[in-house]
Amino acid sequence: MKRKGSRFERDLIEELWKNGFAAIRVAGSGVSHFPCPDIVAGDGKRFFAIEVKMRSSLPLYLTEEEIEKLRRFSEVFGAEEIIALKLPRKKWRFFKPEELGETSKGYRIDDDIYAKGKDIFDLKGLKQIKLE
Amino acid sequence: MKRKGSRFERDLIEELWKNGFAAIRVAGSGVSHFPCPDIVAGDGKRFFAIEVKMRSSLPLYLTEEEIEKLRRFSEVFGAEEIIALKLPRKKWRFFKPEELGETSKGYRIDDDIYAKGKDIFDLKGLKQIKLE
């Protein structure tokens, strides 16, 4: 299975390093028989297991399986579960599973939920600085 | 750059999961411009950044650069640095950088150092059970 998202994943890796996190892309995250996220990051205090998504527009739909896979990895590893979403000409936004909207088949991020998404400063645990 | 060691890395990933660690292989660990290990593992209490080596015989030589790369990643991430070594028909053995022998150009693991290597039980922090 070819991984279409690897350019975006590398972009997020850069962003994380710039903000004080050591971050790596997971090899074969789509094919491994162990549950695993797309990116793992840590800064000595906090550890994140990140599922990376990019869309041309909202809503973003996520399956139960995707969230469950992320949860199972995070529980054993000792990481916080994060969904990272990139929209065109927008900065990365970050969501915890409990912040997602529920659908009959899984989860979604619509405009309302997107507006409440965290940015990279929130992820660092710093006070959010509004530059936009 | 093709990664010859990925079969061994997958083998170690299996071993880690069996022993209570969530473990992932790092994508492009040989080519990324950020320092990164071959494997990252955690069990909620301990986090390991692992450089994976396999040899047909000892000694194993490691360059200063390899160890330095591992150190830089681990410092930011908040992981313990581990060198994992697989010899034919032997179980995995694990070494910390300070346990390696020094050479003029880097580090090595010879027979004496190999004999003192930790096994997967030590890595878990359990009392070592001698089965061999």
pLDDT tens-digit profile of B9-40? Answer: 999 999 999 999 999 999 987 677 899 999 99
Give the mean pLDDT of chain A.
91
Helix (H, G, I), strand (E, B) or coil at A126: coil
> Is residue B109 in some structural domain?
yes
* Residues of chain B contacting residue A23, judged by C-beta atoms under 8 Å apart: 34
User: Which residues of A are catalytically annotated?
Assistant: 29
Percent above pLDDT 90 for chain B: 82
CB B11 within 8 A of CB B38: no
> Is residue A50 in some structural domain?
yes
Domain CATH code at residue A74: 3.40.1350.10
pLDDT higher than threshold 50 for residue B2: no
Q: What is the pTM of this model?
A: 0.91
> Is residue B54 in some structural domain?
yes
Q: Which of B46, B44, B37 is nearest to B118 (CA)?
A: B46
Q: How far apart are CA A16 and CA A72, in angstroms?
A: 23
pLDDT higher than threshold 50 for residue B50: yes
- How many domains would you assign to chain B? 1
Mutate to test the interface with B, among A18, A24, A38 (most CBs of B within 10 A): A24
Q: Which of B61, B129, B127 is nearest to B100 (CA)?
A: B61
Type of residue at A72: R
Query: At B6, is the pLDDT very low, low, confident or very high (cuts 50, 70, 90)?
Result: confident
C-alpha separations of A111 from A47, A63, A68, A120, A131 in Å: 27, 18, 23, 19, 20
- Residue A47 CA, distance from chain mean position: 12
CB B52 within 8 A of CB B82: no
> Is residue B132 in some structural domain?
no
B7-11: which pairs have CB atoms within 8 A and are 24 or more residues apart? Answer: B8/B52, B8/B54, B8/B86, B9/B38, B9/B39, B9/B52, B11/B86
Is there a contact between B27 and A22 if contact means CB atoms under 8 Å apart? no
Type of residue at B62: L
Query: How confident is the model over A8-34, as a mean pLDDT?
Result: 91
Query: How confident is the model over A16-34, as a mean pLDDT?
Result: 89
Residue-number span of the structural domain to which A87 is assigned: 6-123
Tens-digit pLDDT profile for residues A111-129: 999 999 999 999 888 544 4
Residue from the list B22, B27, B74 with its beta carbon closest to the beta carbon of A27: B27
What pLDDT is stored for residue A113 in this prediction? Answer: 98
CB A51 within 8 A of CB A19: no
Query: What is the DSSP secondary structure assignment for residue A26, as one 8-state letter?
Result: B
> Is residue B128 in some structural domain?
no
Query: At A32, is the pLDDT very low, low, confident or very high (cuts 50, 70, 90)?
Result: confident
What pLDDT is stored for residue A47 in this prediction? Answer: 97
Higher pLDDT, A29 or A93: A93
> Is residue A132 in some structural domain?
no
Longest dimension (CA), chain B: 42
Give the mean pLDDT of chain B.
91
* Residues of chain B contacting residue A40, judged by C-beta atoms under 8 Å apart: 24, 40
> Is residue A104 in some structural domain?
yes
Is there a contact between B44 and A13 if contact means CB atoms under 8 Å apart? no
Query: What is the DSSP secondary structure assignment for residue A3, as one 8-state letter?
Result: -
Tens-digit pLDDT profile for residues A45-63: 999 999 999 999 999 999 9
Q: How far apart are CA B66 and CA A115, in angstroms?
A: 43
Q: How far apart are CA A97 and CA A94, in angstroms?
A: 10
> Is residue B1 in some structural domain?
no
Query: At B59, is the pLDDT very low, low, confident or very high (cuts 50, 70, 90)?
Result: very high
Using CA atoms of A102, A108, A110, A112 in order, give the dihedral in degrees to the nearest 10.
50
Q: Which residue has the tokens 């693991």?
A: B109
Cβ–Cβ pairs < 8 A, chains A and B? 91
